[in-house]
Amino acid sequence: MAYRDLREFLEVLEAEKQLIRIKDEVMPEPDLSAIGRSAPNMESAPAVLVEKINGYKNSVVLNVHGSWQNHALMLNLPKDTPVKDQFFKLKELWDQYPVKPVWTDKKDAPVKEVVVEADINLFDVLSLFRINDFDAGFYLSKALIVTRNPNNPDSYDEQNCGMYRIQVKGKDKVAIQPMPFHDIAVHLKNAEEKNERLPVAICLGNDPVLSFMASTPIAYVQSEYDFAGALKGEPIELTKAETSSLDIPARSEIVLEGYIEPRIREIEGPFGEFPGSYSGSRLQPIIKITKITHRKNPIFENLYIGMPWTEVDYLVALNTSIPLYEQLKRDFPEVEAVNAMYTHGIGAIVSTKSRFGGYGKAVAMRLLSTPHGMSYTKIVIIVDEFVDPFDLKQVMWALTTRVRPDKDVFKIPYAPGMPLDPSSEPAGMHTKLVIDATTPVAPDAGRDCELLGMPADVKKWSEILRDLVKEGGNK
């Protein structure tokens, strides 16, 4: 690949005219969030590196994943590669899983250039700012968070690298939101059953492929690091954390190490979330930060989240689509492509051939029973294989010419849903909507229902069998 970490990827973006540098000093608020909102609205939607922030020592980069051009460059493709071609290239790379990482000695890991173990103060290292006006405080919205299963702490495959929102609660304390269907929630539950602390590493400023995988819904025992290696075509460099056995990216900009306190909760939120609205406040777990390691002059990378489309929508577009495609394709080989780019898969469009009557509805129900579809997807549209699900003009043609509302639209009430979707009521429950916009296919069998007759000599053999039972079963 053309890059090994965030810094080298920024060089790639700059060479491709997909990076803007702001050298004049800006205010952390409202300037940084305004920059994060503005960049995705530009035609090329470049990344923005802000070199000087009033009151802070370190630079900030925004919108690293925030365009299809940047997304293509992340996959080592020409920046003008169409979205559908990126989908199938990603599928090709996906099938190279696993590519195992390599471990770098701590003394050689760039993220260990500076070690802070006394007087921890997040404000000395992170150029913090509110992402949206009514957020409860400063948030880390683009962190790769590493945990292990305390019931099987030596299992590399059960190590989770996920992206969860983090609220700064103090100079050495943060809150985290682990949803019940997240892998980290399994680890935390196991730790709290033992009343044990759960070690955590919060990794900031990562190789863009690592951020991509941290926000991808893969299986519990699949490794984000192994998938990232497959996407890059070479192993990811890892090293060991300072305070635990966790494996962390050797080339991250900043790593915050600590632990989740068992059975302790504090109010977290509200926060401007990916559906384009504020979430409420909830009691959430607390992480105590005990050590910080970082590169010299670290770059703080954060994610602006707002009314779609912003960087988060590009980040979780195809990495939501591909796992759903893989799971559907395994059971329904007729499936051609899955577009789950809308609001992290709350809306999904599937193109498929139809093997028999009602096939599109069966595909939709299978999608809604996948781990991500069950907890996120609310609206499913099924279209024919010749309809490009990434082309909304074609999808609208299918909706307007193939759908009979009395036969092709149905609802599933009281189903699981995404609590952060403001339309879920109560939070975490949805009525699912399925629209089958495929061309009708006739059933394999007709409606004939002639009754079957009795075979000859049934009466005779019934008497013989009864006699055999009386005689002990021999004749």
Tens-place pLDDT, residues 418-459: 787 878 788 888 899 999 999 988 875 555 667 778 899 999
DSSP state of 418: -
What mean pLDDT comes out for the span 48-62? 97
Tell me, what's the pLDDT at 345?
81
Give exposure, 295-319, as e/b (b: 16+ Cβ within 10 Å): beebbbbbbbbbeebbbbbbbbbbb
Which region among 291-295, 344-348, 384-388, 450-454 has the lowest average model confidence (pLDDT)? Answer: 450-454
What mean pLDDT comes out for the span 185-211? 96
Tell me, what's the pLDDT at 275?
79
For β-strands 139-140 and 166-170, DSSP reports them as antiparallel
Q: What is the C-alpha separation between 388 and 394, in angstroms, rounded?
A: 6
Q: What percent of the chain has pLDDT over 70?
A: 98
Question: Is the C-alpha dihedral spanning 294, 159, 224, 128 positive or negative?
Answer: negative
69-117 confidence digits (pLDDT tens): 999 999 999 999 999 999 999 999 999 999 999 999 999 999 999 999 9
Q: What percent of the chain has pLDDT over 90?
A: 78
- Reduce the DSSP state of residue 168 to 3 states and report it: strand
Q: Decide which of 244 and 344 is more confident.
A: 244
Q: What is the C-alpha separation between 323 and 421, in angstroms, rounded?
A: 21
32 with 62: CB under 8 angstroms? Answer: yes
Query: What angle, rounded to 10 degrees, do the helices at 318-331 and 359-367 form?
Result: 130
286 with 261: CB under 8 angstroms? Answer: yes
Tell me, what's the pLDDT at 447?
59
Tell me, what's the pLDDT at 290?
97
Could you tell me which residues come within 8 angstroms of residue 142 by beta carbon, excluding any fewer than 6 positions away?
Answer: 163, 204, 211, 301, 302, 303
Rg (CA), the chain: 26
Which region among 14-18, 344-348, 349-353, 431-435 has the lowest average model confidence (pLDDT)? Answer: 344-348
Task: Write a three-state SS string for 223-252.
Answer: CHHHHHHHHHCCCCEEEECCCCCCEEECCC
Q: Which of 201, 198, 131, 196 is CA-nearest to residue 161?
A: 201
253 with 6: CB under 8 angstroms? Answer: yes
What mean pLDDT comes out for the span 2-28? 96
DSSP bridge pairs for 284: 266
Confidence of residue 475 (pLDDT cuts 50, 70, 90): low
Tokens standing for residue 108:
């050689």
DSSP state of 110: G
Binning the chain into helix, strand and coil, the percentages to the nearest 5 are 30, 25, 45
Domains of the chain: 6-313 (2.30.110.10), 317-437 (3.40.1670.10)
What's this model's pTM, rounded to 2 decimal places? 0.86
Which range has the top average pLDDT, 13-27, 275-289, 310-324? 13-27
Q: What is the C-alpha separation between 286 and 151, in angstroms, rounded?
A: 21
Candidates 253, 273, 301, 311; catalytic one: 273
Tell me, what's the pLDDT at 470?
86
359-403 confidence digits (pLDDT tens): 999 999 999 999 888 888 999 999 999 999 999 999 999 999 999
Count the neighbouring beta carbons within 10 Å of the beta carbon of residue 6: 25
411 with 436: CB under 8 angstroms? Answer: no
Confidence of residue 274 (pLDDT cuts 50, 70, 90): confident
425 labelled catalytic: no
137-184 confidence digits (pLDDT tens): 999 999 999 999 999 998 998 999 999 999 999 999 999 998 877 889
